[in-house]
Amino acid sequence: QVQLVESGGGLVQAGGSLRLSCAASGRAFSNYVMGWFRQARGKEREIVAAINWSGGSTYFIDSVKGRFTISRDNAKNTVNLQMNSLKPEDTAVYYCAARDGRLQLYDHWGQGTQVTVSS
């Protein structure tokens, strides 16, 4: 089992930056693919970024490419989402999630952190 706790959300003006962090507790963190999801009000949850166990492979949705980066530190059991050039449409609750590298389903979730980008 992995427990996930996000931090770093807040209010920022358009064009600004925020760094979200996710601290994981439990065993075998390095075995998990880590993802960041977001859910805006009235919309479905969507995956924003993901990173494999080694950090050597990443994924981003098109709308954040070139603006967001994802990184992980397996020694510290953390995964970070650096968000630059934020836009009002990035406003959402952001969730950290984990899945076993052999599976497709994200089955460990954090409680979420609010990101609000003002125009």
Distance in angstroms (rounded) separating the CA atoms of residues 92 and 20: 13
What is the reported pLDDT for 107?
A: 92
What is the reported pLDDT for 29?
A: 85
What is the reported pLDDT for 18?
A: 98
What is the reported pLDDT for 103?
A: 87
Low pLDDT (below 50) residues in the chain: none
Q: How far is CA 62 from the centre of its chain?
A: 15
What is the reported pLDDT for 102?
A: 87
What is the reported pLDDT for 22?
A: 97
Q: C-alpha angle 105/107/110, rounded to 5°? A: 130
